[in-house]
Amino acid sequence: MAQTEIAPLESSTLPRQKTIWDAALRMIRRQPLGSAGLLVIVIMTFAAVFADYVVPYDPEIENFEYMLMPPGTMDETTGITFMLGTDSFGRDMFSRLVHGARTALLVGFTASFIGAFVGLVLGVGSAYFGGYIDLVFQRVMDVFMAFPLIIMALAIVAIFGTGTEKVIIAITIPFIPRCARVVRSSALALRELPYIDAARSIGYSHTRIVMRHMVPNVMAPFLIMLTAFVGQAILLEASLSYLGLGVQEPTAAWGLMLQGGAEEFAESAPWVPIWPGVAITLAVFGFNLFGDAVRDVLDPKLRAQN
Amino acid sequence: MYSYIVKRVLLLFPTLLGAAIVVFLLLRLIPGDVCMLKFGGEGGYVDPEQIKMCQERLGISDSKIEQFVDYMIGFATLDLGVSMWTGQPVTEEIWIRFPLSLQIAIMATLTSVIIAIPLGVISAAKQNSMIDYLVRAFSIAGIAMPSFWLGILIILGLLIGTQAWSGVPWMPPVHYKSIFDDPAHNLSQLIWPALATGYRYSAVATRMTRSAMLEVLREDYVRTARAKGLIEQVIINKHALKNALLPVVTIIGIEFAFLMGGLVVTEQVFNLNGIGKLFVESVTQADYTLTQALVMLVVFIFVLVNFIVDLMYAWLDPRIRYS
């Protein structure tokens, strides 16, 4: 039996394997602003996760020898340097900023994930059951939507008290109706589709139809709401902490850093009010840019407009 | 049209009632009451008899149902009662602060319209140009920047700016005077918080104007207008803008409604004694009557503005007919 020789393929004729870098480049070209947002998010997440290794000093240790040192101050004898200066308790601003990222992301991610997820289930459920349940549910959501975010959050903080976990609850609850409403309107159209009828006629349970058949099909509005929520949650946490009703001292949080006499020292030590604000703005900016890009990709109807 | 208006007005009531119930229940969930806070606030020994007497006097010891009925009757007869903390009539507590907050809300809305509409139109007319990118960056930054921080920056800028210019640092006046009594004093105090909140709210409106304009500029009638040789400026200002304003009106209306709540933080920065600050105080003091009245005021403004926005739709766009 004659053997056919199979000529080895020349590697140059093969298409080059797509690496992760190609994918990244493609994304940067298609969504330059979104990529910039993602970069900010990645840096922030890195800072938050490795905060203990990144920062030079403990963010909660007070040292009255080093009160309100301007940025770049170096103690000649000990060699301690404060890159971004210190606050009125002598705590290193840079260390507090990095640890503040941890608080902001913890509150931002937890509140928006839980809020959006509960909203998703409630919204889809309401659309699926329809009829009276839907009507009553819609009126209840209307009532909750009539409260401005911050007022609702303030009332909830008053009930549960202050502190990081309580702030998360206070921010999560007002998010629920906002997500539920958007998701419900997409789910309403789904309910009429034949495959839902089919699922029902096979005898699947309501839970199964809602969770397995409807929820995956409203992922686009869900993800759009979710990404929009993270930025809002960070802002809301900062506002609550600024009012003294959010995260409490000595935990490092950006809003709290602005509250600690930021106006008082505005003139004598402008770095105290400036850095935390820059951090909040950058973080929310990053999440918003990224959120816009997610919306562009997932919702082609909106793509033309922006 | 009239039957539509009547129906919408009737639909306002369930929302208001629902909001009243939610506020009532939320407040009762707050641990401690106004009497405990008043007498026990400073710590030390408190006579339980004294607290009990206070609770009975204010009606907090009544059953929840009785309290709720009282509260509802109060609304129906427009008698909001007295503040549990200060003992002053609730309407008076709100009335002395309301003009200040309302004025900031109106000025901030004006600021946002003045910024948003021209920027949105330019950005749409010159889509994907350098100006467009700048406008978009400016508006995204507005959403990202907390308004209280912008407020701090404005104060800081004023201090440093006036120091450099005249050698004497200048601060906006601290005491509120009505715009009718002393316009210069009033404006020099309130223009800054209005700018800080207005910029933030302009961001959303700018984006809305831009996307609405882009959509309208693709319509056939705009192409016709171009084909008959109209100059671009006339097309944009007379033909396109009118139709693009519809969604912008909604956004501005909703923003105005939310502004009343959004002022909570701004008033803190500028140390203004408005209803936002009153709200924070009344919640932390567990002042049930005052908090209930304030929240209902904000909710009422919200549903009312939404209603007016819906009606303005029909007025702005004759194609929309409500039935």
pLDDT of residue A306: 39
pLDDT tens digits, chain A, 306 residues: what are they? 556 666 665 655 666 677 778 777 877 777 777 888 889 899 989 888 887 777 777 777 777 666 666 776 666 666 666 666 777 676 777 888 888 888 899 999 999 999 999 999 999 999 888 888 888 888 888 888 888 888 888 888 888 878 888 889 989 998 999 899 888 888 888 888 898 889 989 999 998 998 888 888 888 888 888 888 999 899 999 988 888 888 877 777 888 888 765 566 666 777 778 888 899 999 998 998 888 888 777 765 544 443
CA dihedral A26, A31, A37, A41 (to 10 degrees): -40
Q: B189: how many CB neighbours lie within 10 A of its CB?
A: 22
Give me the residue from B140, B156, B283 closest to A154, CB to CB: B283
- Cβ within 8 Å, pair A280-B146: yes
pLDDT, tens only, B232-252 = 888 888 888 888 887 788 778
Quick one: tokens of A146? 């009539």
The string over A11-37, giving b where at least 16 C-beta atoms fall within 10 Å of a residue's C-beta and e elsewhere, is: eeeeeeeeeeeeeeeeeeeebebbbbb
- Cβ within 8 Å, pair B149-A142: no
- Cβ within 8 Å, pair A154-B279: yes
Q: Which of B29, B152, B256 is best to mutate for the A interface (most A CBs within 10 A)? A: B152
Strands A81-82 and A73-74: antiparallel
For the question of an ipTM over 0.95, the answer is no
Distance of alpha carbon B22 from alpha carbon B298, whole angstroms: 14
- Cβ within 8 Å, pair B264-A159: no
pLDDT, tens only, A93-121 = 788 888 888 889 999 999 999 999 999 99
pLDDT of residue B36: 72
Spell out the domains of chain A, with CATH numbers in brackets. Answer: 102-305 (1.10.3720.10)
- Cβ within 8 Å, pair B152-A149: no
Give me the residue from A154, A267, A283 closest to B280, CB to CB: A154
Q: How far is A153 from chain B (nearest CA, A)?
A: 11
Query: If you search the block for the tokens 């008082």, which residue do you land on?
Result: A264
List the single residue in A with minimal CA-CA distance to B263: A150
- Cβ within 8 Å, pair B169-A243: no
- Cβ within 8 Å, pair A147-B22: yes
Residue-wise DSSP of B235-292: IIIIIIHHHHHHHHHHHHHHHHHHHHHHHHHHHHHTT--SHHHHHHHHHHTT-HHHHH
Which of 12-71 (B) contact A at CB < 8 A? 14-15, 18-19, 22-23, 26-27, 29-31
Give me the residue from B141, B268, B298 closest to A148, CB to CB: B298
pLDDT tens digits, chain B, 323 residues: what are they? 678 788 878 878 888 888 888 888 888 887 777 777 777 665 666 677 777 777 777 777 777 777 788 778 877 777 777 777 777 888 888 888 888 888 888 999 999 999 999 999 998 888 878 888 889 888 888 888 888 888 888 888 888 888 788 877 777 777 777 777 777 788 878 888 898 888 988 888 898 888 888 888 888 888 898 899 888 888 888 888 888 887 788 778 877 877 776 788 888 888 888 888 888 888 887 788 888 888 888 888 888 888 888 787 777 777 766 65
Q: Is residue A16 classed as helix, strand or coil in its secondary structure?
A: coil
Quick one: tokens of A266? 């505005």
Query: Crossing angle, helix B147-166 and helix B183-217, to 10 degrees?
Result: 120
- Cβ within 8 Å, pair A243-B265: yes
Alpha carbons within 13 A on the beta-carbon side of A53: 4
Residue-wise DSSP of B148-192: HHHHHHHHHHHHHHHHHHHSS-----SS---TTT-HHHHHHHHHH
Region class of B177: left (phi > 0), else alpha (psi between -120 and 50), else beta: beta
Q: Cβ contacts (< 8 Å) between A255 and chain B: which residues?
A: 146
Q: Answer whether A88's CB lies under 8 Å from A53's CB.
A: no
Q: Given CB atoms, is A301 within the 8 Å cutoff of chain B?
A: no
Q: Answer whether A254's CB lies under 8 Å from A238's CB.
A: yes
Query: If you search the block for the tokens 């149902």, which residue do you land on?
Result: B65
pLDDT of residue A117: 93
Q: How far is B128 from chain A (nearest CA, A)?
A: 10
Distance of alpha carbon B145 from alpha carbon A284, whole angstroms: 8
Q: Given CB atoms, is A293 within the 8 Å cutoff of chain B?
A: no
How many interface pairs between A and B have CB atoms less than 8 angstroms apart? 135
pLDDT of residue B211: 85
- Cβ within 8 Å, pair A150-B264: yes
Name the residue type at position A237.
E
pLDDT of residue A303: 46
pLDDT, tens only, B281-301 = 888 877 888 888 888 888 888
Q: Is residue A83 classed as helix, strand or coil in its secondary structure?
A: coil
Cα distances (angstroms) measured from residue A120 to each of A132, A152, A180, A199, B302: 19, 20, 5, 20, 25
- Cβ within 8 Å, pair A281-B144: yes
Q: Answer whether A47's CB lies under 8 Å from A98's CB.
A: yes
Q: Which of B33, B134, B148, B259 is best to mutate for the A interface (most A CBs within 10 A)? A: B148
pLDDT of residue A107: 92
Distance of alpha carbon A107 from alpha carbon A237, whole angstroms: 7
Under 8 Å CB-to-CB from A80, ≥6 apart: which residues?
Answer: A57, A66, A74
Q: How far is B239 from chain A (nearest CA, A)?
A: 19
Give me the residue from B26, B146, B153 closest to A159, CB to CB: B26
